[in-house]
Amino acid sequence: MDLTLLSQIESPADLKALPIEQLPSLAAEIRHAICSQVMQSGGHLAPNLGVVELTIALHYVFDFGHDRLLFDVGHQCYPHKLLTGRFPMLKGLRQRSGMAGFPEPLESNFDLFAVGHAGTAISTAVGMARGDTLTGEGVSGEQPDGRRVVALVGDASIVNGVAMEGLNNAGTLKRQFLVVLNDNGMSIAKPQGAVSGYFDRLRVSDTYRSMKRVAKDALSKLPGGTALKGACHRMGEMAKDALLEDTWFEHFGLVTVGPVDGHDIQGLIEMLTAVKHVDRPMVLHVHTVKGKGYDFTEGDATTFHSPKPFTVSGCDVELKSGGRSFTSAYGDAMCNLMDDDDRVVICTAAMPDGTGVKQAIDRFPDRAFDTGICESHAMDMMAGMAKSGLRPFFAVYSTFLQRAFDQAFQEVALQGLPVRLCLDRAGVVGGDGAVHHGFCDIALLRALPGATICAAMDEASLKAALEFMRTWDDGLSCVRYPRDGVAGRFAKTPCAAFERGRGRCLRPVAEPAAIVLAYGTCAMTAMDAADTLADEHAIEVWDARFAKPVDRKMLISALERSVPVMTIEDHSIIGGFGAACLEEASSLGLDASQLQRLGLPDGWIYQGSRTEQLAEAGIDAISLVTALRNAIGRGCNANTTSPRHSPVR
């Protein structure tokens, strides 16, 4: 497709110069550009295809170089980026030199927050609205050209608890404030819960609409109200019938309009032009189709939410195979556990495919749950199920565990309840970048009394860890594993059962030149490094398995042999496995002057491949070989950290 229009857009000013009649053609070009790039690099596809017309209309009406646009979740930002001068960066999508897959203020002043977690837009938008009012920059009757504020919320993140808190405060504002609800009937997968059912009824139920309360007099008294009524009627029956219903949002104090057609550009522009001048907080409910524009994305928006690279040949779509992943291995292992133990239950928070829980939901619908985008609720629900005598497993991305830490502390650890956390995407995650790295889960959970923290290095050890956790009923436990394929190096070697606080020696050496205590998949990295150095030095390698409790016998044996000892982990150097080893050595009165720690540096690592990120952090095999050679050659300085640091971008 010829991208004549898109290639001319260097800023929203260029967009505003286009006649409205050309905007559908621009929308088609944007869809083509995004789909073509995601086919090559992977990325978030269906969410972005669904908001093309809505994003065009928002930028056509508002001036977001001056006004405020806050994204919720952020993975629907590609059209926004293309309209704000970043089309040349699209070819490097999710790569260090190219366009980040989430809003990124380092790229552009049009991105206000780097954001990849759900539920945050309304609260940050309320903060900016209050801030602009206090500094005299906000829109008001006396200052009609002041900054306006828009929060774009989608993919069912409106049901997130933080979004509810934001709505509760938004209703108290005495100024313009617009929440655009992008209602595509989807989360990442099918949305869950009562609120999603409410939106389903609102979109399709004529009976419900016939019971509307149309407050025409009140509307006419609002600034822009007369124009708003006209815009609603021009947008057709869907908008006209839903004008100012007695909706859920009105109970928060927000005027509500919709649902309106999110793919009618001219109608959206008229509607946004009208609501732009309303001086009260309000919600514009926009109905869109996730994956709009292609049959394969509209028909399977879950698969194409964030696909790997893929090819399209006629009616056939083929996703690139990346080999067997830890996520797939986890899904199979959990189904086996559930077959063997009817007390095992499992849940995920809106990530059934991403965490591998979909298979369990299909096979065990009474014992497997998707709670929707609400990690805090999911953690507490699992605590309740543990209290009831079940054996709950909560599958959650490491980065999203942070959102439920208070519940892990209060309702799980403090109660001594055996909730089992399965932390997918631990460590660096590749193209999703800084917003999704699982870099602090060990540090968070290690502070909880009675917690048991382990990691898997391959599929066999993941199965063994899950089996250990299944029968560990003395408190919170977790296993962490990366967004990566499982290594087959030890596939034919029997995997010893997990025993709390005990590591596994993978490469015993009678008189080693150095010893590596590796955590999780870094054990494979250590084995590769030991192979490289085999003709120079004998390196002993341990799969440490546990960050809490650390294997004391392993640590004593390593530190008393008077050779360099290195810990390596895909976690922050602060508070991680290496820090746990130092603390344990101190409590045992051991000399830790020969201990060197390798881990993620105290800095942000941006998007790129996982391989590049591990190298940047100094925890790939090449870096470990260099660190071992240096340590053996000169001896280790106490408590040193990773040799590389994340550059400021």
Per residue in 74-110, pLDDT (tens digit) is 999 999 999 999 999 999 999 988 999 999 999 999 9
Active site residues: 290, 375, 403
Q: b or e along 445-462 (b: 16 or more beta carbons within 10 Å of the residue's beta carbon)?
A: bbebeebbbbbbbbbbbb
Closest CA to 440 of 368, 547, 350: 547
Task: Give the least confident one: 48-62, 317-331, 480-494.
Answer: 317-331
What pLDDT is recorded for position 227?
A: 55
- Crossing angle of the two packed helices 121-134 and 161-170, in degrees rounded to 10: 30
Residue 8 pLDDT grade (very low, low, confident, very high; cuts 50, 70, 90): very high
What pLDDT is recorded for position 189?
A: 52
Residue 426 pLDDT grade (very low, low, confident, very high; cuts 50, 70, 90): very high
What average pLDDT does this structure show over 133-149? 95
Q: Read off the pLDDT of residues 377-392 as tens digits, 9 standing for 90 and up.
A: 999 999 999 999 999 9
pLDDT at 221 exceeding the cut of 60:
no
Q: Read off the pLDDT of residues 558-593 as tens digits, 9 standing for 90 and up.
A: 999 999 999 999 999 999 999 999 999 999 999 999
Task: Give the least confident one: 52-56, 222-226, 381-385, 550-554.
Answer: 222-226
Q: Give percent of the chain with pLDDT exceeding 70.
A: 88
Please report the domains of the chain, with CATH numbers, ordered by start residue.
4-295 (3.40.50.970), 326-480 (3.40.50.970), 504-634 (3.40.50.920)
How many Cα atoms occupy the beta-carbon half-sphere of 262 within 13 Å? 28
* Mean pLDDT over each residue of the chain, to the nearest integer: 89
**Beta strands 391-397; 344-348: pairing state:** parallel
Cα–chain-centroid distance for residue 361?
Answer: 21
**Other beta carbons within 10 Å of 544:** 29
pTM value is: 0.88
Inter-residue contact 418 to 393 (CB < 8 Å): no
Q: Read off the pLDDT of residues 177-220 as tens digits, 9 standing for 90 and up.
A: 999 999 987 545 555 554 545 455 444 443 333 323 333 343 45
Q: How many Å from the N-terminal Cα to the C-terminal Cα in the chain?
A: 34
What average pLDDT does this structure show over 607-629? 97
What pLDDT is recorded for position 237?
A: 45
What pLDDT is recorded for position 317?
A: 86
Q: Read off the pLDDT of residues 290-344 as tens digits, 9 standing for 90 and up.
A: 999 999 999 998 899 989 899 998 878 888 877 899 999 999 999 999 999 999 9
Tokens of 532: 């490289």
Reduced to 3 states (helix: H, G, I; strand: E, B; else coil), residue 82 is helix
pLDDT at 15 exceeding the cut of 90:
yes
Tally of residues, the chain = 649
Q: Read off the pLDDT of residues 253-288 as tens digits, 9 standing for 90 and up.
A: 898 888 899 999 999 999 999 999 999 999 999 999
Region of 539 please: left (phi>0), alpha (psi -120 to 50) or beta: beta
